[in-house]
Amino acid sequence: MGQKINPLGFRLGTTQSHHSLWFAQPKKYSEGLEEDKKIRDCIKNYVQKNIRISSGMEGIARIEIQKRIDLIQIIIYMGFPKLLIEDKPRRVEELQMNVQKELNCVNRKLNIAITRISNPYGHPNILAEFIAGQLKNRVSFRKAMKKAIELTEQANTKGIQVQIAGRIDGKEIARVEWIREGRVPLQTIDAKIDYCSYTVRTIYGVLGIKIWIFVDEE
């Protein structure tokens, strides 16, 4: 059967770069990995708690982490940063304190930067959040998928594929539905493809959303 590989890991070193940059001895590697997970979860939870915009989206496209001996640099790429920036210094400081508390790092400085991305709906994470919000409000899944595709077309991407799996519309038998617009060359390593998988908890059960966006060819 066709084996599916994560499109991001498949393209590492060609069109895709790592989201975490640091070096660790083999024995310490797992600690560093857990630390990264903690940082990402902490930021997402903070944003979720403090921000509730109309559609209930956090709008984080990705979180990049760079670690040096005495510094952890975190860059948050957001689609709608004004939510965090309204009273910027206070919000970011509070977030910094939260992360520091979570990590209890004494001898390392934390530095958090927020970067705005130009086309928020060209990013699969933000789109997945949008679809999740729609599904929670019991919009029919086809409508939600079509709307998501319309939104990406405004962000001039070359192709998109959206897949939803699980108990769609509360049916008893779980199934997988997908829809594709434009071209999504998953086998071409030179094609820059953005991918994300997202779980959404509805009242019927858990649905999985996967989104592939074909950005452009290098």
pLDDT in tens, 157-201: 899 999 999 999 889 999 999 999 999 999 999 999 999 999 999
Mean pLDDT of 118-147: 90
Q: Which backbone phi and psi does 82 adopt, to 5 degrees?
A: -60, -20
Closest among 105, 122, 99, 85 to 44, alpha carbons compared? 99
The side-by-side arrangement of strands in the sheet containing 159-166 is 175-182, 159-166, 206-217, 191-201
pLDDT in tens, 11-61: 999 989 999 999 999 999 999 999 999 999 998 888 887 765 544 567 888
pTM of the model: 0.87
Mean pLDDT of 126-142: 90
Q: Which fold has domain 17-116?
A: GMP Synthetase; Chain A, domain 3 (3.30.300)
List the chain domain ranges: 17-116, 120-214
Q: What pLDDT is stored for residue 53 in this prediction?
A: 54
Is the model's pLDDT at 103 over the cut of 70?
Answer: yes
**Which are the contacts of 89, defined by CB distance < 8 A and separation ≥ 6?**
none
The percent of residues in the chain predicted with pLDDT above 90, rounded, is 49
Q: What pLDDT is stored for residue 54 in this prediction?
A: 46
Q: Which CATH number fits domain 120-214: 3.40.640.10, 3.65.10.10, 3.30.1140.32, 3.40.190.10?
A: 3.30.1140.32
Mean pLDDT of 85-102: 78
